[in-house]
Amino acid sequence: MTESAEKIKKQFIDKGIEKGVEELTPEKIEKTINKILKSETGARFKAYVETCVHCGLCSEGCHYYLSHDKDPAFSPAGKVKQTIWEIVKTKGKVSPEFIKQACEIAFTECNLCKRCAMYCPFGIDVAYLMLTMRRICHMLGVVPQYICDTAHSHASTMNQMWVKDDEWIDSLIWQEEEAREEIPDLRIPLEKEGADIFYSVIGPEPKFRAQLIYQAAVIMNVAGADWTMPATPGWDNSDMCMFIGENEMMGRLKKSHFEAAMRLKVKRIVMGECGHAFRSVYDMGNRWLGWKMPPIPVIHALEFYHELLTQGKIKVAKKFDKAVTFHDPCNVVRGRGLHEMGREVTRAFTNELIEMHPNREQNLCCCAGGGVINCGPPFKMKRIDGDRIKAEQLFNAKSRGASTIIAPCHNCHGGLEDIVHHYGLGMDIKFLGDIIYECMEKPGASEG
Amino acid sequence: MHDLYAFVSGPLVWVAFIIFFGGSIYRLVSMAILAKKKDGVVFEYFNFKYALRSIFHWIIPFASTNWRLHPWMTIVTFAFHIGLIFTPVFLFAHIILIKESWDISWWAMPDGLADILTLVVIASCVFFFVRRQVLPEVKYLTSTSDYVILVLVALPFITGFWTYHQWPESTFMGILHILSGEVMLAVIPFTKLSHMLFFPITRGYMGSEFGGVRQAKDW
Amino acid sequence: MVDLDAWDWEVDKRMIADLRQWKEQFEHIEEPCVSPDGEKIAAVVQSGEMEFSVCENGTVWESPFDKVWYLRYTPDGRLVGLVSDTGTWTVAVDGEAWEETYDFVWNTQFSEDGKNITVAAQSGMEYFAVTNGTPWENKFSFMTNLAISRDGNHSAASVQTISISEGDIWSFRKGCFSVAVDGEPWDTNFVNVWEMDISADGRHVAAEVRTTIYDFTIAVDGKTWPETFQAVWKPKFSPVTTSVTASVRKNGVWVLMRDGRQIWDRSFVQLWHHVYNADGTKIAAIVAPKYGRWTMALDGVPWSLTFGDLVTDAVISADGRRVGCVGKENGVYFIAVDGIRWNDTFDMAWKPVFSSDSAYVAAKVEKNGRYFLALNGKFLGHGFKSLWDPVFSPDGKKLLVRGIEDGPDKEQYHRKVIKVSDILG
Amino acid sequence: MRKTLGLLFLFSFLAASLVGFSAYCQEDISFVGDSAFTERMRPSVPFLHDDHNEMANIEDCNECHHVWEDGKKLEWDSSEDKECSECHLSQESGDSDMDLIKAYHNMCKECHIGQKAGPVQCSECHIK
C-alpha cells in the first residue's frame, strides 16, 4: 500500500539530507532523539501521541493525501506514524535510513498548514508533531540543503536571501527614486523615529520582487500613512529557521525584527503579503522569546488594506476587469481569520469574485508553505504532484469564469505559479496589492 | 461460583472504580503538571469560551465539516458513544446494584431501549472493525492494540446482552460480563480509551488557539 | 563626554527657527533633527529637481547632493548626513563631504564626545569601516554589526573571513565568520558572530558567537568562554574593568553571567539588555520573571510591578540607585521608575532620563498625536508638535526642552531652559 | 493476517451465539410476588417456599419474614401475615419501588452469598 509513496520518494535526492545522514550513527540518533523528547517535549506531545485513536479522519484534511489518490502514507496521521510514533515506540532506536525518510516526510510532505487540525476530532496538532520531527532532524544535522542554506542566511544577515546591509538600503533608495517618477513627492522614509507604521517585508522582496516595495510605497503615500522602514537588519520578517526547528535562531530573528520596530518607536508593524512571516511574528517567534502576543501589534497587509479602504484612505478608481478567485493562505486565514477582510477588499476592486471550493478556513493548501518550497528544486515536482487537488480546485473556479488568482502570500504565490504552469491552467496570479496598485486612485501621480 | 461472584461484584468493583477514577485523576493531574512545567502555552492560551465553542461543534453530529464529509462514520460514532456511555450508566440492572450497595439511584432507561443501544454498540464495534479492515487510510494506522481495544469495549456489551437474554451459560457470561466491564473501566486511563479524558483538553486547546489567537473556526 | 557646562543654561525660551518659512521655501522637507544643546535644527530638503540639501537654522548647505539621508547631530553638535553625488556615497559633516567616496555608506556612529565619526562602507563589493574618512586596511566580503569604542578610536564588526558559494552549507558549518577589530580579524573563525561590545579602554572586544550551529557562547578577544549555551545575547563590558557580562540560555531559561560564571542567583523566562551604572557596581536588566510578564530587575531582583505587552528602554541612574523603563500593558504605554508605574498612560513613551544626582527623572511621551514632557511622575500639559528627549543641566536643577510649537499659522522650534523646581512646584 | 483471521472468527462466533439459543421453561412453579409490583421489568422469580426452606434448612419464619424496630431485628416477632411492601414501601418510610426491589434483592442475595448456595445473578432468579 505504500508502494506509490516509496516510488515517489526514491526520485528525490537532496545533498543536505544525504550528507547529513552519512554522518549519523544509531547511538547519535538515539541520544539526540531522547534528549529532545525529554527536554523539549511535554504534555502536548504526549497527549497528541497518546490520544490519537487511529481513526483516519484527518486524512481528508490533507492535500497530499487527496492528491496522491488517497494514499494513506500521505495522510496526516500516516505521516506521524512514519515519524513520531516510530521514534516514540523504539525510544529513539532507529536507523540513519529511517531518519532520512522521516526528514523527507517532515520537510517535504507536510506544509504545516494545520488544515488537519480542523479535521481531527481531537484537534491533534500534526503540524506541531511534524515540527518536532524537523527539530530532531535539525539537531541531527539532517536538513534539506536549500532551506538549510536559507536558515544560514537568516543567521548571518538576519534576512532570508543573503541580502547585505547596504543592499537593503540601496534597494529602498532605488525604489523610492523609481516611484518618484510616478508620484513626485513620494518617500520611503528610512529610520523615521516615532512614525505610526513600521513596514516590514520578506527577504525576497528587495532581491527579486522590488516592485512590491514600490507598490507598497505608493499605497502608503497615497493613503497618507506615517510610515518608516529600518536601515538596519530587522527589516525582514520572514523566518525559515522556524521551519527547520532551529528555534534559537527563530528567536534571534524575531528579536531583531521587533526591536527594530521598538527602537523606531512605532505604534504598529504592518507587513506585506506574506503568510509564514505572519505566523513567525504572531504566534511562534514571539512565544519563544516570552512575549505572549506580539509586543507591538502586527497588521498583515490584508487587514491593512481593509483598514485603508474602510477608512476611505484609498479609493477605487476602476474595477479590475477580469474575474478573480481568492486563495486563502493558511497562515493568515486559519492563522488569523483575515478571509472576510481579504474578500471585502477584493470585491471593492474587482467586478467579479468567483469562490473556489472549499474556501476560507477550509481552503486547500498551496503546497509551498511550511518551508516546503524553500527545500528547493529537488522537491519541486513533489510539491506539484502533491497538490493535484489544488489544480482541480483552481480548474473548477476557472471553469466558472475565474481567470486571475489572488494569492496574498509569497509562498502561495510561488506554489500556485508552479501548479498553474504544470497543470496548464492558464491563470494569472496576483497579490492583492497588485490589484489595488493598479486600480486605486493616485491623486499625486504625474500624467503618463 | 458464589465466591467468584462475590469477588467480582465486590472487591473487584472497588478495584476497577479506584483504578478508573484514580487513574483518570492521575493522568489528568500528571498531564497538567507536565504541561505547567514544559508546555506553559497550554495554560496561557486556554480560553474556556473558545474551548467550549470548539467542543460543541465536535460533540454535535454534523456540526463540523469533517462530520458532514463522513455521514456514516458520524452516525455510527455518535450512536456508539451514546450507547457506550448511556447504557451502562442508565441500565436498570446496574442502578439496582448500586442501590443495593450504596442506597443511591437515578433514572433508569427501559430495558428495551438498553437492548437496542447494546446492539448499536456491538454493531458499531463491528463497523469499526470492518472500517479498520476495509478503509486503507484507517488500516494503515491500525495496530493490534486497536483491535484489542475494540474487543475490550465490545465484550461487556456482548456478555451483558447474553446474560440478560439468558442464553446458555448465562451465569458464566454474567461473571464474564462483570469482569470484562471492570477490565474496560480500569484500562480507560491507560490505553487509547484515555481519549475520553483528553478529548476536552486537546480539542479545547485547539479551539482556544483558533478562537482566541487565530480568530478562525476550527471545525 | 561632552561638556554640558558649556551649554547655555540661562533660564529662557528662544525661537531658533520657523519651519513654516522652510516649508514655503522648499518643495519638500523631511522630518527635522536638533542638536544636543538645542541651538540648531536641521532637515533634509529638496532644493530642486532631484536635488537635495540640508537646511540648518534657515541656512542651506552650499552644495546640494543627489541624495541625503540619515541626518544626525554628533554629541558635540556637528551635523552629519550620508550623501551621494554622481553615484558615489560619502559622509558630509556640516555640509563638507569627506574627500573619499564609496559605493555605499551607512550605519553612522559617533564617539561619546562626538569627535569621531564611523560608518560602515562598501566599495567594489568589499566591506569595511571608515572613521573620519580613514578606512580599515583590510576589506571583507561581508560585514555587519558594526560597533565602536566609547572614544571612537576603535571599531569592530562581524565579518566573513572565508568566502563560500551559495548553498555550501557544509563549509558554512565549519565557521566562516569572525570579528574584525580595526580591520584585523581574530584568528578564530565562528559559525556566526553577532553583536559585540568594546571595552571602556578600547582594547578588548566581546561578541556573541556560535561555535557550532548548536552551541552559542561569548568570545572575548577571540577566546570563548569555557561553556556553551542554547543561546546568548549581547555581551557588555563593565564600564570600569575588562570583565564581561552576558545573559545566556541554559536548560531553557535565561541567567546572567560574568566571565562565564553565573552572577544572579535566579533565572528568568527572558533576560536581556542589561545596563551598568557609572562605576559598574550595579546591573539592571529587562526580564520576564514568568511567561508573558515583563519587568526590570536590579542586581537580580525583579520588580513586583510587571507589564504584559513589553518592557523596553531600560535605564539605570549613574549612581545605580534608580532604575527606569518604558512598559506597555493592554496596548498603552507607561513610564515606570523603581518599580512604580506613573499614573498617566501614553500612546508612546521614550526612554526616561535621570538627572546626574538621580533626584529627577524626565521623559518624552506621546498622547493623541501630541508630544509632552513628564517629570517625576507628573505629566506636563503643554503639548508640542515635535519634541526631543529632555536634557538635565549638570547640577540637575534645570531642564533643556527642545520642541516645536505650532498653531494655525506657525510652526516654531524653540529652545527652552526651565527650572525643575518651577515645574514640580 | 493470521491475527485478523482469529479476530474475525471470534466475532462471528459471538454473533452466531446471540441468535442461536432460546430460553427454557420450568413447570410447576410458584413465584415470589407482591401486590405492589404492578408493572414488571423482569420475569417473576420462581420460588418454591417449602422446598427452599427445607433445602436451606430454615425453620424460623422470621429468618425472612422479619420485623425491625428501632434499628433492631425483633427476635420473637415475625411478619408472615404481611406483604413486604407494607413496610418496605410504606407511606412513612417514603420508599420507592427501588427500595422494595432492593429489599428483596438484599434478602435473597446476601443470604445466598453468605451460604454459598442459591442463585445470585439477575438471570439466575428472573428466569425467562
pLDDT per position as a tens digit, C153-193: 999 999 999 999 989 999 999 999 999 999 999 999 999 99
Give the closest of A55, A292, A362 to B138, CB-based: A55
A285 and A166 in a single domain? The answer is: yes
Determine whether the interchain pair D123/B93 forms a contact, defined as Cβ–Cβ distance below 8 Å. no
Ranges under pLDDT 70 in chain A: 1-12, 447-448
CA nearest neighbour of A123 among B48, B194, B208:
B208
Q: Taking CB atoms and an 8 Å cutoff, what residues of chain C touch B40?
A: 291
Percent of chain C predicted with pLDDT > 70: 100
Q: Can you read off the three cell numbers belonging to residue C55?
A: 537646511
Determine whether the interchain pair D11/B129 forms a contact, defined as Cβ–Cβ distance below 8 Å. yes
In this prediction, residue D9 carries a pLDDT of 44
C253 burial (CB, 10 Å; 0-12 / 13-18 / 19+) is middle
- C253: nearest CA in chain B? B38
Q: Which of A112, A143, A174 is the last residue of a domain?
A: A143
pLDDT greater than 50 at residue B96: yes
Determine whether the interchain pair A290/C294 forms a contact, defined as Cβ–Cβ distance below 8 Å. yes
Determine whether the interchain pair A248/C231 forms a contact, defined as Cβ–Cβ distance below 8 Å. yes
Determine whether the interchain pair D123/B3 forms a contact, defined as Cβ–Cβ distance below 8 Å. no
Q: Taking CB atoms and an 8 Å cutoff, what residues of chain A touch C28?
A: 185
**Mean per-residue pLDDT over chain B, rounded:** 96
In this prediction, residue C381 carries a pLDDT of 84
In this prediction, residue A447 carries a pLDDT of 63
Q: How far is B17 from chain D (nearest CA, A)?
A: 20
Rounded CA separation C62/C56 (Å): 11
Query: Cα dihedral sign for A92, A97, A98, A102?
Result: positive
Domain that holds residue B142: 2-213
In this prediction, residue D26 carries a pLDDT of 38
CB proximity A139 to C under 8 Å: yes
Q: Which of C251, C291, C293 to mutate to test the interface with B (most CBs of B within 10 A)?
A: C291
Rounded CA separation C201/A371 (Å): 46
Check: CB of residue C372 under 8 Å from CB of residue C363: no
Rounded CA separation A164/A231 (Å): 11
In this prediction, residue A9 carries a pLDDT of 53
Tell me if A447 is assigned to some domain.
no
Q: Read off the pLDDT of each residue in B174-192 and give the average, rounded to a whole number.
A: 97
Rounded CA separation A257/A202 (Å): 11
What is the domain partition of chain D in residue ranges? 26-125
pLDDT band at D18 (very low <50, low <70, confident <90, very high): very low
- C291: nearest CA in chain B? B40
Determine whether the interchain pair B58/A334 forms a contact, defined as Cβ–Cβ distance below 8 Å. no
Rounded CA separation B135/B133 (Å): 6
Domain that holds residue A88: 3-143
A160 and A293 in a single domain? The answer is: yes
Determine whether the interchain pair A248/C249 forms a contact, defined as Cβ–Cβ distance below 8 Å. yes
Which is higher by pLDDT, B219 or D96?
A: B219
pLDDT greater than 70 at residue C96: yes
A16 and A87 in a single domain? The answer is: yes
CATH number of domain containing B200? 1.20.950.20
**Structural domain total, chain A:** 3
Q: Taking CB atoms and an 8 Å cutoff, what residues of chain C touch B41?
A: 291
In this prediction, residue A445 carries a pLDDT of 82
- B205: nearest CA in chain A? A123
Determine whether the interchain pair A166/C230 forms a contact, defined as Cβ–Cβ distance below 8 Å. no
> Residues A25-51, buried b or exposed e (16+ Cβ, 10 A)?
eeeebbebbeebbeebbbbbbbbbbbb
Q: Which of B137, B148, B150 to mutate to test the interface with A (most CBs of A within 10 A)?
A: B137
Strands C353-354, C340-341: pairing kind: unpaired
CA nearest neighbour of A331 among A406, A374, A276, A285:
A276
Q: How far is D48 from chain B (nearest CA, A)?
A: 21
Q: Can you read off the three cell numbers belonging to residue B211?
A: 478562537
Q: Read off the pLDDT of each residue in B65-93 and give the average, rounded to a whole number.
A: 97
What's the CATH number for C270-425? 2.130.10.10
Half-sphere exposure of A417 (CA within 13 A, CB side): 12
Give the closest of A53, A61, A123 to B206, CB-based: A123
User: Chain B 112-171, CB below 8 Å of chain D: which residues?
Assistant: 126, 129, 133, 144, 147, 151, 158, 161-168, 170-171
The residues, any chain, with a CB within 8 Å of residue A211's CB and separated by 6 or more, are: none
Q: Which of A80, A113, A143 is the last residue of a domain?
A: A143
Q: Which of C82, C145, C213 to mutate to test the interface with A (most CBs of A within 10 A)?
A: C213
User: Chains B and D: how many Cβ contacts under 8 Å?
Assistant: 73
Tell me if A33 is assigned to some domain.
yes
Q: How far is D39 from chain B (nearest CA, A)?
A: 12
In this prediction, residue D8 carries a pLDDT of 44
Percent of chain D predicted with pLDDT > 70: 77
User: Chain B 183-212, CB below 8 Å of chain D: which residues?
Assistant: none
How far from A94 is each of A20, A45, A46, A83, A297, CA to CA, in Å? 15, 19, 19, 10, 44
Rounded CA separation A215/D66 (Å): 98
Q: Read off the pLDDT of each residue in B85-106 and give the average, rounded to a whole number.
A: 94
A74 and A26 in a single domain? The answer is: yes
Q: How far is D97 from chain B (nearest CA, A)?
A: 11
pLDDT band at D35 (very low <50, low <70, confident <90, very high): confident
Q: Taking CB atoms and an 8 Å cutoff, what residues of chain C touch B44?
A: 291-292
Q: Read off the pLDDT of each residue in D108-127 and give the average, rounded to a whole number.
A: 92
How far from B212 is each of A243, A304, A337, B204, B215, CA to CA, in Å? 23, 20, 11, 11, 6
pLDDT greater than 70 at residue D11: no
Ramachandran sector of residue A442 (left: φ over 0; alpha: ψ -120 to 50; beta: rest): beta
Q: Taking CB atoms and an 8 Å cutoff, what residues of chain B touch D41?
A: 92, 111
CA nearest neighbour of B166 among B97, B96, B111:
B111
Q: Which of A4, A44, A52, A80 to mutate to test the interface with B (most CBs of B within 10 A)?
A: A44
> Residues A111-142, buried b or exposed e (16+ Cβ, 10 A)?
bbbbbbbbbbbbbbbbbbbbbbbbbbbbbbbb
pLDDT greater than 80 at residue D62: yes
Q: Which of B193, B202, B218 to mutate to test the interface with A (most CBs of A within 10 A)?
A: B202
CA nearest neighbour of A272 among A209, A194, A347, A358:
A209
**Structural domain total, chain B:** 1
Number of neighbours of residue B90 by Cβ within 10 angstroms: 17
Hey, which residues does C192 pair with through a beta bridge? C210
Tell me if B219 is assigned to some domain.
no
In this prediction, residue A12 carries a pLDDT of 67
Q: Read off the pLDDT of each residue in D36-55 and give the average, rounded to a whole number.
A: 88
Give the closest of A155, A191, A267 to C70, CB-based: A191
Number of neighbours of residue C175 by Cβ within 10 angstroms: 19
Determine whether the interchain pair B194/A361 forms a contact, defined as Cβ–Cβ distance below 8 Å. no
**Mean per-residue pLDDT over chain C, rounded:** 96
Q: Which of A118, A247, A282, A333 to mutate to test the interface with B (most CBs of B within 10 A)?
A: A118
Is D touching C (3+ C-beta pairs, cut-off 8 A)?
no
Q: How far is B179 from chain A (nearest CA, A)?
A: 24
Determine whether the interchain pair D120/B5 forms a contact, defined as Cβ–Cβ distance below 8 Å. yes
Number of neighbours of residue C261 by Cβ within 10 angstroms: 9
A13 and A135 in a single domain? The answer is: yes
Determine whether the interchain pair A292/C308 forms a contact, defined as Cβ–Cβ distance below 8 Å. yes
Tell me if the bond preceding A358 is cis, omega within 30° of 0: yes
Determine whether the interchain pair B129/D101 forms a contact, defined as Cβ–Cβ distance below 8 Å. no
| Interface chains of chain D (3 or more CB pairs under 8 Å) | B
pLDDT greater than 70 at residue B185: yes
Q: Which of B47, B73, B140, B145 to mutate to test the interface with A (most CBs of A within 10 A)?
A: B140
In this prediction, residue A11 carries a pLDDT of 54
Element (H, E) at A100: helix A96-108
Hey, which residues does C64 pair with through a beta bridge? none
pLDDT greater than 70 at residue C223: yes
A237 and A338 in a single domain? The answer is: no
Give the closest of B2, B161, B170 to D120, CB-based: B2
Phi, psi of C240 (to 5 degrees): -120, -20
Q: Read off the pLDDT of each residue in B142-165 and give the average, rounded to a whole number.
A: 97
CB proximity A234 to C under 8 Å: no
| Interface chains of chain A (3 or more CB pairs under 8 Å) | B, C
Give the closest of D20, D96, D121 to B5, CB-based: D121
Cell 554622481, residue located: C86
What's the CATH number for D26-125? 3.90.10.10
Which is higher by pLDDT, A205 or C2?
A: A205
Task: Quote ipTM for the complex.
Answer: 0.92
Q: Read off the pLDDT of each residue in C231-254 and give the average, rounded to a whole number.
A: 97
pLDDT greater than 80 at residue B28: yes
Q: Taking CB atoms and an 8 Å cutoff, what residues of chain C touch A262?
A: 310, 312
A160 and A292 in a single domain? The answer is: yes
User: Chain B 68-107, CB below 8 Å of chain A: which residues?
Assistant: 69-70, 73
